[in-house]
Amino acid sequence: MSDTSLPSIETVHRVLGRLAGVRVLVAGDFILDRFVSGVVERISPEAPIPVLHGRAATQALGGAGNVVANIVSLGGKASAISAVGDDPAGRTVLSMLSDLGIDAAGVVVSRARMTSCKSRFIAMNQQVLRFDEEEVAPLDAPTRAELVARFAAALADADIAVLSDYGKGVLTNGVAAELIAIAKAAGKPVLVDPKSRDFGHYAGATAVTPNRKELGEAVGRAVMSDDEIELATRELIAAHGFDFILATRSEKGMSVVDAGDARHIATQAREVFDVSGAGDTVIATFALALGAGAHRSIAAQLANAAAGVVVAKRGTACLTVEELIGALSRASGPARHVDAVLDLAGAERLVTAWKREGLTVGFTNGCFDILHAGHVSLLHAARSQCDRLVLGLNSDASVRRLKGEGRPVNTEHDRACVLAALASVDAVVVFGEDTPLNLIERLKPDVLVKGADYTIDKVVGADIVQANGGKVLLVDLVAGRSTTATIRKLQGQVN
């Protein structure tokens, strides 16, 4: 079954709002990625090779380390389990984990190992050479025993485990199977990003996340079409006891398949600069979403959008929740009205995403009890002054305090749904206070709009908006239009 529909904004915010509480235990090969950029202006006289004039050098956590970095950048909590060498690259990896706020107590430092380091040399945004420093070898017996013990101890505090196998030796020789057995015994889901062609090494895992090439190698044949993907994944599910498989398919998107259902998710068209580490972003996002309670198809759609963000970046990259929301917003188009009613945390994330896209955000507020022409005119005028408009809506209790018993006529739910259906309104946030001051402080709109029956010095939050470089606008109201007048007319008090 193809699934081109994206999760609703409401669903996205519900999942993203829970990411901060998800704890992911990441075990695997931690790699130091180095990037040396420069320019090529001549060919070496010593050999027919380009001479790279280095201009800058950066480094990042690679392999399983990039999974950890993506989890942290998305607001989740990560623990690291690995083995690195007692060498400069290993010490750099430990330092970078510390900089991310990650407890590296699960990382075994072994003098018998060499930390993998990949150096990429780049000119004009193109890699001209990659230099790998590594020794691929399984763990020695003492290091293996210590790593397994640290995994078992850390698992108690985790919601979900990820095994990131880059084939450097940390998860080879039966280590992956041992960690999967420990996770299953503890009742914790475990996802595997595989490297081995023999998926039997990961038997019993909740899911594996191969790319199309790795999937084809595992079944010994090419897989391209949806039907071929489904056949291959179900063959592996039956053989190795996976609950499901998430297959990434480059320009074809992703497929999430179990024994009875298959979802094929189209990729989001983005300019591709670098695919380094995209699989790490996928499994990090997928694991966090599953840990937050999302269905696997929703988690896959979020992971698909996340991959679309990082491939547009250079080097081993991470993304933020705001970037993910922005990607989903671009792909989904206008929100359905029920999806535009948000809590304050969801509105903050959406506003941040809009601002990252360079959009101006406006804000206005009110009770909007019985919608009339004056309301519509005000909202239309407000929206004309910004790219996106957030409406702060007084709760039922707040309206009652302001307007008296018998008000509101319509509940906050009904009022919010009606307002969110208007083309001029992009998001509605219900607030329980008498004024929207807290909303304005949190959302920091670029434009604050009120009716011309106010003066700027009487507009709540005007000083905050102006102090942040924004502007306050007063717009003319439609004369004779008010909810109170409408109620009186309905009661027969006005002919």
284-298 pLDDT, tens digit per residue, is: 999 999 999 999 999
pLDDT tens, position by position, 436-457 = 999 999 999 999 999 888 888 8
- 228 known ligand binder: no
Looking at residue 300, its amino acid is: A
- Position 475 confidence tier, pLDDT thresholds 50, 70, 90: confident
Average pLDDT of the chain, as a whole number: 89
- 221 known ligand binder: no
More confident of the two residues 483 and 75: 75
- 214 known ligand binder: yes
Does position 19 have pLDDT exceeding 70, yes or no? Answer: yes
Report the range of poorest mean pLDDT among 158-167, 273-282, 340-349. 273-282
Does position 77 have pLDDT exceeding 50, yes or no? Answer: yes
Does position 84 have pLDDT exceeding 90, yes or no? Answer: yes
- 133 known ligand binder: no
Pairing of strands 427-431, 388-394: parallel
> What was the pLDDT predicted at 321?
82
At the topology level of CATH, where does 337-490 sit? Rossmann fold (3.40.50)
Does position 486 have pLDDT exceeding 50, yes or no? Answer: yes
Does position 337 have pLDDT exceeding 50, yes or no? Answer: no
> What was the pLDDT predicted at 489?
65
Residues 26 and 79 sit within 8 Å (Cβ to Cβ): yes
Does position 242 have pLDDT exceeding 90, yes or no? Answer: yes
Average pLDDT over residues 303-323: 81
Does position 308 have pLDDT exceeding 90, yes or no? Answer: no
> What was the pLDDT predicted at 166?
96
- Position 274 confidence tier, pLDDT thresholds 50, 70, 90: very low
> What was the pLDDT predicted at 273?
46
Average pLDDT over residues 61-83: 96
Domain map (residue ranges) of the chain: 9-332, 337-490
Looking at residue 458, its amino acid is: K
pLDDT tens, position by position, 210-235 = 999 999 999 999 999 999 999 999 99
Average pLDDT over residues 238-266: 92
More confident of the two residues 441 and 405: 441
C-alpha distances (whole Å) from 388 to each of 16, 92, 345, 357, 447 are 21, 43, 17, 11, 10
Whole-model pTM?
0.74
Q: Which residues are catalytic?
A: 280
> What was the pLDDT predicted at 335?
47
More confident of the two residues 408 and 334: 408
Average pLDDT over residues 193-206: 96
> What was the pLDDT predicted at 17?
84
Does position 4 have pLDDT exceeding 60, yes or no? Answer: no
Does position 204 have pLDDT exceeding 70, yes or no? Answer: yes
- Position 3 confidence tier, pLDDT thresholds 50, 70, 90: low
pLDDT tens, position by position, 354-400 = 888 788 999 999 999 888 888 888 999 999 999 999 999 999 999 99
> What was the pLDDT predicted at 281?
93
CATH of the domain spanning 9-332, picked from 3.40.50.300, 2.60.40.790, 3.40.50.1370, 3.40.1190.20: 3.40.1190.20
Does position 47 have pLDDT exceeding 90, yes or no? Answer: yes
- Position 86 confidence tier, pLDDT thresholds 50, 70, 90: very high
More confident of the two residues 331 and 401: 401
